[in-house]
Structure 1
């Protein structure tokens, strides 16, 4: 049979919990997404294609995906450094630094956007220092990347911390005793053990950045064809009562996000197979 159930467990209730799981996921995830896609196809394919392929819409796709990828990559690098510092070193104020990592989770995204805009504007604390160097952050794609990096770094840090805590220091000491330098120890001992967690953290940060709105809408400047993100464009379509256009753009972004996350998960699965084979 195509459907099989696991063997009886000491803890009963698999069928009941599985039923609740399917109902919950259907109500919260599957049915709303299905309704969104069905709303997109209430019009003709020609009209839908015209709405999702407008130059302004295509430009918003490029800005959103490119800035999300750059922000997730930055978070991957610096998130690893933060997670490594918190797990490997004991220092005064460690718990305070650890709490700061979760700050983007607690802050409303609109507050984050206003704060970042005030700091990185030309007359802001940091923006005034960058202005003489010819670097403008606020109201540019660089500002979008800063905002997406801000809201995405907790996903990388919190994903990597358990993996680094489980990594035994004895393995690193053994590698050093066998003549491996620091770079060789990192590449051959540390990186293979935490690579799946790094890919997961990258995927979570990237997915969070794709759908971000509140923190970006203030610092981006919302200039069409330059700094306008897809989330804002969807809101604009809704305000214009263009429900078909908003649904079509949202569906397109959903499919693109699904494909990109699928690729990331395939890379993670392949990396896990290679590591297990090694």
Structure 2
């Protein structure tokens, strides 16, 4: 009887209503995510293989792929660097206006992307408040695209790194200091490894958001084919021409690239988190 009782105690506790909530979750995700994505695949399958390859390997499309991927990667990398610094400052220091600065970080979430694009264009144009001081063009170049993508992606990094720093136990830092480690050693061996999964998550979110961004870029990019034309704009151009199959073919390529990137980053994050957990358990 004791053995049976202990086995029952070891069974995991599960709140009632699991089947209902699971069914609702699957239905909701399927309705809002899987169904729209399946339409992209459905319209793409209406093309034969030769037409599909001709569309996705067109020189204009390839130029848009390169520009979108490169600017998105650079913007996400910049956000990782400066977003992590901002999160560190907001958590580790007390200063006047801290709450105001903390609220400003979320402004790109609330600001309409078209408004952000117009504001950035007016700032960085040749006669703008900032652009007039530079001897080279910022707006209507890839540099302007990177600035716009950095603007809209910053909150993703700050808001993923900030809770990790906020919940970090100071006892570990104190123990590291008591063992003779300096501040740099404590940061590199104790703090930074705990931040890496959150930094990767922020980078992934910022990069994924940048891949599909349209509103804040369309004004500052200039939209010149082979120069400043991004993939979302090329898709919109094909839709305006009623070329739905061509638009979905290019969208399918970007969707596939996003899936590969997300799965790769999730796998990398899992490996780093697992390695960090094993090191802590030793």
* Greater Rg by CA: 2
Deviation at 1:136, TM superposition (A): 2.2
**1:124 to 2:125 alignment:** no
Give unmatched runs, 5+ long, in structure 2. 1-10
- 1:134-213 aligned within 5 A: 135-213=136-214
Corresponding residue SS for 2:147? helix
Picking from 85, 88, 99, the partner of 1:84 is 88
Aligned length: 269
Picking from 65, 68, 71, the partner of 1:64 is 68
Deviation at 1:264, TM superposition (A): 1.1
Corresponding residue SS for 1:142? helix
**1:39 to 2:40 alignment:** no
Deviation at 1:183, TM superposition (A): 2.2
Name 1:225's counterpart in structure 2.
226
**1:255 to 2:256 alignment:** yes
Name 2:24's counterpart in structure 1.
20
Q: CA RMSD in A?
A: 1.2
TM-superposition CA deviations, 1:79-112 (whole Å, max 9, x none): 0111111111111101100010000001000000
Name 2:247's counterpart in structure 1.
246
Q: Which runs of 4+ in 1 moved over 6 A?
A: none
Name 1:114's counterpart in structure 2.
118
Name 1:236's counterpart in structure 2.
237
Deviation at 1:181, TM superposition (A): 2.6
TM-superposition CA deviations, 1:29-76 (whole Å, max 9, x none): 111101111101102111011011100001101111111111111101
Stretch moving more, 102-111 or 186-195: 186-195
CA distance in 2, matches of 1:8, 1:80: 38
Name 1:104's counterpart in structure 2.
108
TM-score by length of 1: 0.94
Give unmatched runs, 5+ long, in structure 1. 1-5
CA distance in 1, matches of 2:272, 2:12: 30
CA distance in 2, matches of 1:236, 1:49: 19
Deviation at 1:270, TM superposition (A): 1.1
TM-score by length of 2: 0.93
CA distance in 1, matches of 2:21, 2:110: 31
